[in-house]
C-alpha cells in the first residue's frame, strides 16, 4: 500500500514567565521602540529555573496526543528538534519518551537550529511514506534563553523559549491531503555568521535572576545580524519557489504561509516574494520572539487554534537557520 503522512494532532506550550521589551531595556541599552521597529518582537517567554527543554516538549507533546485522541502507547517513534538539549546525551527525545511514560520505540533528536522542525518533518515524512512508522510524535522545543548572552543587545532581544508538537500518522495515499513534500539545504561556508561556539550547559543554575545563567562554560549565541538577514531573505525567497516548482504548484495555490519567526521584516519579504497578502501569513514573532525549532510548530498551532484551517488548504512551512541550514515543507491540510 502506498502511504502518505498526515498531521492528526497539535500541541503547544509557552512558559509562564514573560519578559517584555520594556523590562529588557532595563538590562541592556535598548528600547521597546527599537526592538519593535527592527524585529516586530514585543515580548518573549522564558523558561523557569526548574524547567528543562524536555519539560517544555512534554507539555506540547501531551497536548498533541490529546488532540489526536491517542496515548503515548500508540506512538511508534518520537523525534525532538532542539538546539538546547537537556544534556549533551542522552537525547532530549529519550528523556521526553520517559517523562511521557513511553517505552521501547525509537526516539532521537535532530539539530538544525531554527530549521530543526522543517528538517525533522521532511525526514520523518520520508520514513513514514516508506512504511517504517505508523505514528510519530514530532516536537520542536527550545530554551534559547539558556544560550543567550544577556549582556549582548545584538542578540538577547531576539530569542524566546517554547515548544510545539504534532502527531503524524501514515495513511493510505488515496486518502485526500497530507504531506506534499519538502526541500532542504545547508551551506556550511556561512557557519561563522550565526553560532554558539562553546559547550552548552543547560543545567546551569540561574544565579543572576530567574532566567540568566551563570556565564562560566555556557554557550552564547553570536551573530552577524545584518549578514544573516541578507542571506535569509535571499535563500527563503528561493526556497519557497523551489519547493513549489518541485511539486508542480504555483504561488497562488498556497493558502497559508507558516514561516519561522525570526524577524517580521524577513517574514514580510517572503510574503511579498510569494505575492501573498499578509493576512495569509502566520505572525507570532511579536509574542514569542525567535523560538528556534519551536517557532514553526508554534506558528502552525496558532493558526490551528484560530480555526482558520480548512481541509484541502495548502500550507507552506519554511525556516532559515544557523549553518546556514534552510528548507520548506508543503502540507495539504487534512485534519477536520
Which CB atom, from 178 or from 259, has the smaller least distance to ligand UT7? 259
For residue 110, whether the previous peptide bond is cis, meaning omega lies within 30 degrees of 0, is: no
21, 263, 290, 329: the active-site residue: 290
Compute the residue count for the chain: 336
Residue matched to cell numbers 524566546: 160
114, 156, 301, 302: the active-site residue: 114
Q: What is the smallest separation between the CB atom of 218 and ligand UT7, expressed in angstroms?
A: 20
Q: Any catalytic annotation for residue 288?
A: no
One symbol per residue from 196 to 235: x for binding ligand UT7 (CB under 6 A), - otherwise; what is it?
Answer: -----------------------------xx-xx--x---
State how far the Cα of 182 lies from the Cα of 189, in Å rounded to an integer.
23
Find the part of the chain contacting ligand UT7 (CB under 6 A) among 31-39, 75-83, 100-108, 141-149. 31-39
Which CB atom, from 23 or from 310, has the smaller least distance to ligand UT7? 23
One symbol per residue from 254 to 273: x for binding ligand UT7 (CB under 6 A), - otherwise; what is it?
Answer: --------xx--x-------
- How many residues of this chain bind ligand UT7 (CB under 6 A)? 21
Binder to ligand UT7 among 321, 325, 328, 330 (CB under 6 A)?
Answer: 321
State how far the Cα of 87 lies from the Cα of 95, in Å rounded to an integer.
10
CA distance readout (Å), 323 to 160, 174, 187, 195, 303:
20, 37, 6, 8, 28
Q: What is the smallest separation between the CB atom of 13 and ligand UT7, expressed in angstroms?
A: 20
Taking CB under 6 A as the rule, does residue 30 contact ligand UT7? yes
State how far the Cα of 130 lies from the Cα of 140, in Å rounded to an integer.
23
State how far the Cα of 132 lies from the Cα of 127, in Å rounded to an integer.
6
Using CB under 6 A as the binding rule, the residues of this chain from 107 to 166 that contact ligand UT7 are 114, 153-154, 157
Find the part of the chain contacting ligand UT7 (CB under 6 A) among 34-42, 58-66, 100-108, 307-315. 34-42
State how far the Cα of 207 lies from the Cα of 74, in Å rounded to an integer.
41
Q: What is the smallest separation between the CB atom of 266 and ligand UT7, expressed in angstroms?
A: 6
Q: At what angle do helices 264-273 and 225-246 cross, to 10 degrees?
A: 30
Q: 333: exposed, middle or buried (C-beta count within 10 Å: 0-12, 13-18, 19+)?
A: buried
CA distance readout (Å), 144 to 49, 62, 90, 268, 294:
13, 22, 19, 24, 10
Q: Any catalytic annotation for residue 260?
A: yes
State how far the Cα of 336 lies from the Cα of 333, in Å rounded to an integer.
9
Q: Any catalytic annotation for residue 290?
A: yes
6, 45, 52, 260: the active-site residue: 260
Active site residues: 114, 260, 290
Binding site for ligand UT7 (CB under 6 A): 30, 34-35, 38-39, 114, 153-154, 157, 194, 225-226, 228-229, 232, 262-263, 266, 290, 320-321
Amino acid at each position: 500500500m502506498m502511504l502518505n503522512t498526515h498531521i492528526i494532532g497539535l500541541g503547544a506550550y509557552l512558559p509562564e514567565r514573560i519578559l517584555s521589551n520594556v523590562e529588557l531595556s532595563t538590562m541592556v541599552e535598548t528600547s521597546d521602540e527599537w526592538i519593535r521597529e527592527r524585529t516586530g518582537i514585543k515580548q518573549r517567554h522564558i523558561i523557569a529555573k526548574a524547567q528543562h527543554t524536555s519539560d517544555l516538549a512534554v507539555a506540547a507533546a501531551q497536548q498533541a496526543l490529546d488532540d489526536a485522541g491517542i496515548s503515548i502507547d500508540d506512538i511508534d517513534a518520537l523525534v525532538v528538534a532542539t538546539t538546547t538539549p537537556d544534556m549533551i546525551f542522552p537525547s532530549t527525545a529519550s528523556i521526553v519518551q520517559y517523562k511521557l511514560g513511553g517505552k521501547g520505540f525509537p526516539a532521537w533528536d535532530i539539530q538544525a537550529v531554527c530549521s530543526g522542525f522543517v528538517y525533522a518533518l521532511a525526514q520523518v515524512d520520508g520514513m513514514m511514506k516508506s512504511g517504517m512508522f505508523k505514528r510519530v510524535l514530532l516536537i520542536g522545543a527550545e530554551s534559547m534563553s539558556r544560550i543567550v548572552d544577556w549582556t549582548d543587545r545584538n542578540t538577547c532581544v531576539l530569542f524566546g523559549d517554547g515548544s510545539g508538537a504534532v502527531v503524524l500518522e501514515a495513511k493510505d495515499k488515496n486518502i485526500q491531503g497530507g504531506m506534499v513534500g519538502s526541500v532542504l539545504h545547508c551551506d556550511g561556508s556561512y557557519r561563522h555568521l550565526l553560532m554558539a561556539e562553546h559547550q552548552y550547559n543547560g543545567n546551569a543554575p540561574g544565579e543572576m535572576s530567574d532566567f540568566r545563567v551563570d556565564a562560566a562554560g555556557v554557550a552564547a549565541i553570536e551573530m552577524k545580524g545584518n549578514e544573516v538577514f541578507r542571506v535569509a531573505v535571499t535563500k527563503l525567497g528561493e526556497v519557497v519557489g523551489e519547493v513549489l516548482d518541485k511539486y508542480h504548484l504555483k504561488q497562488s495555490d498556497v493558502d497559508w504561509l507558516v514561516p519561522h519567526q525570526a524577524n517580521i521584516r524577513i517574514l514580510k519579504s517572503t510574503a511579498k516574494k510569494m505575492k501573498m497578502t499578509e493576512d495569509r501569513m502566520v505572525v507570532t514573532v511579536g509574542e514569542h520572539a525567535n523560538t528556534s525549532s519551536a517557532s514553526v510548530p508554534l506558528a502552525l498551532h496558532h493558526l490551528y487554534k484560530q480555526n482558520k484551517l480548512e481541509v484541502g488548504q495548502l500550507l507552506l512551512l519554511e525556516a532559515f537557520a544557523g549553518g546556514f541550514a534552510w528548507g520548506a515543507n508543503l502540507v495539504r491540510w487534512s485534519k477536520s
